Amino acid sequence: MPTHRLSRRIGDALKDENQPRHITELKPDYTKSMDIRGNPTTVCPCGSEIWNLKTIFNRDDGTIELYFTDMECADCGTLATAPTPENGTLED
């Protein structure tokens, strides 16, 4: 491939990193992932605040009824523990 085409592709890729990505493009890059499960967190060591986790939604009103505390960083793939309410329930 000619050098100018390669440098243009690299330049386009760098521009794209600074732009918002579509949700289907939020796939972890596992090369630097870690397992930091244990202490609940809201921010990944890589700086991301977007997490992939499993939830169950209430069929009637669409609220989150239950969620698993194991979660994965949407950016780097680090495994972490999701925070929970202080009293252990979602209801007062």
Mean pLDDT calculated for residue range 36-58 = 95
Q: Are 46 and 76 in contact (CB under 8 A)?
A: yes
What pLDDT is recorded for position 55?
A: 96
Mean pLDDT calculated for residue range 39-48 = 94
Q: Is the pTM of this model over 0.85?
A: no
Tokens of 20: 């918002």
Average pLDDT score over the chain? 80
